[in-house]
Amino acid sequence: MSTFSKEHIDYLKKEQKYKIIIHITQTFILIFLFLIWQILANTNVINVFLYSSPKLIIETIIDLIKQQILFSHIIVTLYEVLLSFLISIIISLIIATILWWNKFLSKVFSPFLTILNSLPKVALGPLIIIWAGANINSIIIMSLLISTFITIINLHEAFISTNKNYIILLKSMGASKIDIYKKVIIQSNKANIINSLKINLSMNFIGVIMGELLVSKKGLGYLIMYASSIFNIKLVITSIIILGFLSFILYSIISYLEKKLL
C-alpha cells in the first residue's frame, strides 16, 4: 500500500508529465532547427561551403569514424576536461572552506580573487606555454585558470550566506566549527555546490578548447584549429556540435547526481 496520499501521487504524475513535455519540446526544437538548416542548404538559400548542412555533418562524422580518428580526439578532450574539472573542484572547495573558516584570510584574499577572475586568460596563453611547455600541462592550467576562481568565489559566497540561525543553534549546543561545517555549511549548500559543478564544467570545456587551440596536436580543439586553417567549415561545425553533445552528456550526469543527492 502506498504511503503517499492520492493528491500527492497525482501531483507527482503531473510533474512527471510536465518534465516529459519539456524534453519532447526540446527535442522537437532541435529537430526543427536542423530540418530548417537542411532545407535552406538544399534550396541554396545558404552556401553549404560556408554554413555546411546536417547532411554534410553526418557525412563528416562517418568519414572521421572510417579514418579511426574521431574517438581518439574525443577521448583526449574528455580526459582533459574531466581531469581539469576534478582538480578545479578539489582546489575550489578547499580554498572556499579556508576562506569561510578564517575571516581574516577572506577579507585579505577576496579582492585578489575578483581581480584574478577578471583577467583575460587568453592573454596569458603565451606565458603559460613558456612556463609549462607546449603540452597537456598548458591545457590543464588554462582550464584551471578559467574555471577555478569563479568556482571559489561562488562557493565562498554560498558558505558565508548560510542561515546564521542554524550556526547559532549548533553553537548553543556546544558544536565545534568542524561540526558546523559538516552539518550546516555543507548540508545547507548542496544545491549551491551542484550548481557550482555545472558552471565549473562549462568553464572547463571552454578552458580545454582554448588550450587545445593553442598547443594541442590532438583533441576536438585541435580539429577545429586544423579545419579552420584549411577552411574546412563542415569539420569545424561538426567538431563544435560534438563538443555540444559531450557537454550535454556530462551536464546530464551532474543533473542526475543532483536528483540523487537532493
Helix 233-261 vs helix 190-215: crossing angle, to nearest 10: 160
Report the C-alpha dihedral over residues 28, 33, 35, 36, rounded to 10 degrees.
140
Instruction: Round to the nearest angstrom and report the end-to-end CA distance of the chain.
Output: 25
Say which amino acid occupies 15: E
Res 1 pLDDT > 50: no
Q: Is the dihedral of CA 78, 254, 140, 236 positive or negative?
A: positive
CA-to-CA separations, 100 to 1, 49, 52, 157, 174, in angstroms, rounded: 47, 54, 50, 9, 19
Res 15 pLDDT > 90: no
Domain boundaries, the chain: 1-46, 54-261
What pTM value is reported for the model?
0.87
Please compute the mean of the pLDDT values over residues 137-144 and round it to a whole number.
93
Res 21 pLDDT > 50: yes
The pLDDT tens digits for 89-112 are 999 999 999 999 999 999 999 999
- The answer to whether 17 and 34 are in contact (CB under 8 A) is no
The pLDDT tens digits for 47-72 are 998 899 999 999 999 999 999 999 99
Nearest one of 126, 162, 159, 161 to 141, comparing CA atoms? 126
Q: What is the pLDDT of residue 3?
A: 64
Cα Rg for the chain, rounded, in angstroms?
23
Q: Is the dihedral of CA 17, 21, 22, 27 positive or negative?
A: positive
Q: How does the average pLDDT of the chain come out, rounded? A: 90
Res 220 pLDDT > 60: yes
- The answer to whether 93 and 155 are in contact (CB under 8 A) is yes
- The answer to whether 75 and 111 are in contact (CB under 8 A) is no
Please compute the mean of the pLDDT values over residues 197-208 and round it to a whole number.
92
Q: Write down the CATH superfamily of domain 54-261.
A: MetI-like (1.10.3720.10)
Q: What is the pLDDT of residue 122?
A: 80
Res 2 pLDDT > 60: no
Q: What is the pLDDT of residue 134?
A: 86
